[in-house]
Amino acid sequence: MSDERGQFFEQKLANLKALEEIGVNAYGKRFETTSTLEELRDGFKEGQIVKAAGRMMAYRGHGKSIFIDMKDKSSKMQLYFQKNIIGEDNFNIFKKIEIGDIIGVEGETFFTRMGEPTLKVESFTLLSKSLLPLPEKWHGLKDVEIRYRQRYLDLIVNDEVRQVFKTRSMIIKNIRNFFDSKGFLEVETPMMQSLAGGATARPFETFHNALGIPLYLRIAPELYLKRLLVGGLERVYEINRNFRNEGISRRHNPEFTMLEVYQAYADYEVMMELTETLVSELAKMVWGDTKREMKDGNVLDFTVPWKRITLTDAVKDVCSVDFLTVEDPHKAARECDIEVSPEMTRDEILTQAFESFVEGNLYQPTFITEYPASLCPLAKTIDDKPNLTARFELIVRGQELANAYSELNNPVEQRKRLMDQLDKSDDKNKRIDEDFVKALEYGMPPAGGLGIGIDRLVMALTDSDSIRDVILFPQLKPEAVDTKSENE
């Protein structure tokens, strides 16, 4: 093999030249089709004259006739070429066309002897010659590394992968419809921020040359969306990317898509109902039902209402300890086999216990409520429980899918809570977003805010185990080796 493109490249290139020598343009232009293959298939009738285009996926030659399978964006259909229909010259040209090539055809529909809906081709055009072999037709492409790095191959060959991304698109479209119909305004706020606020993750840093300042890719849009509440927009949402400079895993991609919603004059309980309605409607759209049996054998059930339980009770059910009131939380944690360090606060131990023992086992949609105020600086506290917040996280299939709270709109308290958080931070360069607090000082209406991780929602609704299966181009380490770092 003299070329990394493989042994067949030269062969196919020779095929291409042979075609060009007899005057065939191997890279055609516009081709108007009359219907997609799916449209043809639905209510298939014999005797229709149609034009279609797509990629040749299989070839079955029979001497003076040839069957091929052609795939377009919607479906697959068998085509039939006969020497005495298209003529000897064209028939010989067609023999040079290979699996992987993209063609346009015109012909008449008919059923074969075996009852297969087929298009009897009367004329064809080569639209694009493929120079590299496709993965195998029967086993498809399984190597996940190739599937992610060369997603185009994955999409050509694996129909179920196509379907996942069509579903993803449908879900996002329906989310937009849902909020638009309720009077929400879709907005776009900065992805590049001079201060990465609204969450606690490590940001990606970049630099603006003309301004001469560092900028951060946003870790959340929250503080900007709340400025819009101050601005009187009252109901806003944004569906866009967040960037977090953290580890990559089955559930984490450095850039991921987040829906954030803010509704003035509402609270986190309104957000709960909104979430229930939205997600159960999406389930009906995708599944035709609010529940479905998953690959792991469990039936995931989004039928409303969903279970609601406080964080403390959820932990108490499993560990039999009330970490809010237990005298020595460190001791109690050790007795429950929770890994804690001496400097952890009571609140941190509580959430640690939840993450260690409860979260992973919550399969059905469950609202976990009343998170400790010390860990939620942007959430409003509960009137008679000043150390707890009016917040919920939605857990589905053992992972966080949504997060919402009654937004803190008291600027004095907001400043104090942000400062408290800053004091605990290791990073002494961090500042609080003064302009955000200033905005609150002008007056923000009480509001409910909600964030839903779109990738994880799509994972649940498409029964995907890895976030890489719902992101077209997930982040991977580059294949190319940097020679300088080679022998470290």
Partner RNA sequence: GGGUCGCUAGCUCAUCAGGUAGAGCACCGGCCUUUUAAGCCGGUUGUGCUGGGUUCAAGUCCCGGGCGACUCACCA
Site for RNA in 351-370 (CB under 7 A): 355-356
Cβ-based nearer residue to RNA, 44 or 110:
110
Nearer to RNA, 96 or 182 (CB): 96
Residue 310 as a binder of RNA (CB under 7 A): the answer is no
* Residue 59 engages RNA in binding (rule: CB under 7 A): yes
157 SS3 class: helix
Residue 139 as a binder of RNA (CB under 7 A): the answer is yes
| Beta strand 76-82 pairing with 49-61 | unpaired
* Owner of token pair 């450095």: 254
Piece of 27-35, 65-73, 288-296, 325-333 that binds RNA (CB under 7 A): 65-73
Two structure tokens written together for 116: 């297969």
Closer CB to RNA, 287 or 363, in the complex: 363
Q: Does the footprint of RNA cover residue 253 (CB under 7 A)?
A: yes
Decide if residue 479 touches RNA (CB under 7 A): yes
Question: How many C-alpha atoms does 116 have within 13 Å on its Cβ side?
Answer: 13
d(C-alpha 102, C-alpha 186), whole Å: 39
Q: Please compute, for residue 352, the number of CA atoms within 13 A of its CA located in the half-sphere on the CB side.
A: 18
In the shown chain, the binding pattern of residues 180 to 199 toward RNA, with x for contact by CB under 7 A and - for none, equals: -------------------x
Residue labelled with tokens 């923000």:
444
Using omega within 30 degrees of 0 as the cis cutoff, is the peptide bond preceding 203 cis? no
Check the CA dihedral 465-367-202-238 and report its sign.
positive
Q: Does 455 bind RNA (CB under 7 A)?
A: yes
**Minimal distance in Å, beta carbon 254 to RNA?**
6
Helical H segments across 303-410, by residue range: 311-319, 329-335, 346-353
Binding segment toward RNA, per CB under 7 A, in 38-46, 139-147, 424-432, 441-449: 139-147
Which range binds RNA by CB under 7 A, 2-10, 31-39, 273-281, 381-389?
Answer: 2-10
Least distance to RNA, CB of residue 359, Å: 9
Please report whether residue 426 would count as binding RNA according to CB under 7 A.
no
Examine residue 430 and tell whether it contacts RNA (CB under 7 A). no
Size of the site for RNA (CB under 7 A): 84
Alpha carbon 149 to chain centroid distance?
Answer: 17
Is the Cβ of residue 28 or residue 254 nearer to RNA in the bound state?
254
20 binds RNA (CB under 7 A): no
- Sign of the Cα pseudo-torsion (92, 95, 101, 103, in order): positive
Q: Segment contacting RNA (CB under 7 A): 56-64, 172-180, 206-214, 260-268?
A: 56-64
Q: Does 487 bind RNA (CB under 7 A)?
A: yes
Q: What is the DSSP string of 248-260?
A: -BTTB-SEEEEEE
Q: Which is nearer to RNA, 114 or 213 (CB)?
A: 114
Within 393-422, which residues bind RNA (CB under 7 A)? 399-400, 403
Angstrom CA distances, 182 to 29, 32, 128, 300, 448, stand at 44, 39, 46, 27, 15
Residue among 350, 402, 343, 413 nearest 378 (CA)? 413
The answer to whether residue 244 forms part of the interface with RNA (CB under 7 A) is yes
